[in-house]
Amino acid sequence: MEQHDHIKWLLRTKGTSLSEIAKSLGLSPTGVTQVSKGRARSKRVENAIAEATGLKPSQLWPEKYPQHAETN
């Protein structure tokens, strides 16, 4: 499963979506989708997606985070 599809699946299991996250942040769904796909970077959006899935950003996008970057 592609990373973006996995994120969408995780969000669905939690009863939300990228569109809902975009709405809560006051952003466009397209912008949030670009972050989910790894085509854009926004710590704010990454953190919101991670919080909604119950995972850390480093678990969703390990290629963007050095191995020891997050300690929480």
How confident is the model at residue 65, as a pLDDT? 84
Could you tell me the residue ranges of all domains in the chain? 3-64
Is residue 26 left, alpha or beta, with left meaning phi > 0 and alpha meaning psi from -120 to 50?
Answer: left
What tokens were used for 48?
Answer: 């919101």
From the candidate CATH numbers 1.10.150.80, 1.20.58.340, 1.10.3720.10, 1.10.260.40, the one assigned to the domain spanning 3-64 = 1.10.260.40
Which pLDDT tens digit goes with each residue over 5-27? 999 999 999 999 999 999 999 99
For residue 29, count CB atoms less than 10 angstroms from its CB and return exposed for 0-12, middle for 13-18, buried for 19 or more.
middle
What tokens were used for 17?
Answer: 């979506």
At position 4, the amino acid (one-letter code) is: H
**For a pLDDT cut of 70, what percent of the chain falls above it?**
93
pTM recorded for the entire structure: 0.88
For residue 69, is pLDDT > 60?
no
How confident is the model at residue 71, as a pLDDT? 52
Give the mean pLDDT of the chain: 92
